[in-house]
Amino acid sequence: MTTLPPPSKVKLGLVIDLDTCVGCHACAVGCKQWNTGGIAGPLTDIEPYGKDPSGVWLNRVHSYELAPTGACGTTPSQPAQTLHFPRSCLHCETPACVTVCPTGASYKRGEDGIVLVDEDKCIGCGLCAWACPYGAREMSPVDGVMKKCTLCVDRIYNENLPEAEREPACVQVCPTRARHFGDLGDPDSKVSKLVAERGGVALMPELGYQPVNRYLPPRPRRAGNDVEAVRETPAETLDAKALPPVLKWLDRILSR
């Protein structure tokens, strides 16, 4: 059913720390590795070793340049920065990708808020991908059905795994611990506290889809005026009079 369930108490989701993400793509690769054999699998590739490789990825890492800014309020001026930005499904509370689905293949789980695709019902019309502003859904050209992040629903409840591993693959694999998984519906959960402490944000909330995932913005850099400092470094000076005689002569010849 593409009618949304009443808002769930538990809102499982990810919190992604843009301050510590180093853009290593391990989360993307870890996701691909787990999910190609998981319930969303296979995540097929076309010409993986060919000239124009392409394939289904449920998580992609973009890298951006942030331009330097002047001081703003209590934030000091910020230098230019590199921003690595992992992008995956945000498991919105009111996801348009679910309500536009004509078949009922897309659905939001009432118990924990995870948005999933039932691939046996999907007709591959692609409308849900059009309805998602975050680019979370990708069509498999081989299977003709839509693929998306499952929040590793086959890991997080998997009793065959040790308890410490019952987390999404992207969270498990992140070498800088930039990704956190938990219940964002519970204000006392670790992730909710982290979001409160670091001022976590939802992406494009004005569109009204109420994403559950949160992104923690980079912490303000301390020496915000570094840019100016670099620019104002005086040109190298040379005290020619202090040079040894041969070099003094060379300097005089070359300065002509």
Partner 1 sequence: MNPALSVIFFTTLSGAGYGLLVWTAIGAWLQQPARGLLVSLLLALVLVSAGLLSSLAHLGQPQRAWRALSQWRTSWLSREGVAALVTYVPALCLAAALLPAMIAADARTSVVALGAAGVTCAIVLVVAALATVACTAMIYASLKPIPAWRHRLVLPVYVLFALVCGGLLALSVTAPTGPGRLPALLVAGVGAMALAACKWRYWRALDTTPLSPTRGDAVGLPMREVALFERPITEGNYITREMAFVLARKHARRLRALALVLIAGVPVACLLLGWAVAPLLATACGAAALSALAGALVERWLFFAEARHLVTLYY
Query: Distance (Å, rounded) from C-alpha 141 to C-alpha 42?
Result: 11
The residue to which tokens 């897309």 are assigned: 106
Closer Cβ to partner 1, 25 or 166, answer by number: 25
Structure tokens at 52: 């124009």
Other beta carbons less than 10 A from residue 227's beta carbon: 15
CB of 248 to partner 1, least distance (A): 48
CB of 97 to partner 1, least distance (A): 10
CB of 101 to partner 1, least distance (A): 6
Query: Distance (Å, rounded) from C-alpha 186 to C-alpha 7?
Result: 13
Other beta carbons less than 10 A from residue 57's beta carbon: 20
CB of 49 to partner 1, least distance (A): 13
Three-class SS of residue 145? coil
Closer Cβ to partner 1, 24 or 161, answer by number: 24
Binding site for partner 1 (CB under 8 A): 1-3, 18, 23, 25, 28, 52-57, 60-67, 69, 72, 78, 82-83, 85, 87, 96, 98-105, 121-127, 129-135, 138-141, 143-146, 201-204, 206-208, 215, 217-218
**Contacts for 174 with CB less than 8 Å, ≥ 6 apart:** 26, 27, 30
Query: Distance (Å, rounded) from C-alpha 176 to C-alpha 45?
Result: 28
Closer Cβ to partner 1, 89 or 156, answer by number: 89
Neighbouring C-alpha atoms within 13 Å toward the C-beta of 50: 8
Rg of the chain's alpha carbons, rounded to an integer?
Answer: 25
Closer Cβ to partner 1, 34 or 134, answer by number: 134
CB of 251 to partner 1, least distance (A): 43
Closer Cβ to partner 1, 98 or 173, answer by number: 98
CB of 244 to partner 1, least distance (A): 48
Cis peptide leading into residue 6 (ω within 30°):
no
Closer Cβ to partner 1, 10 or 224, answer by number: 224
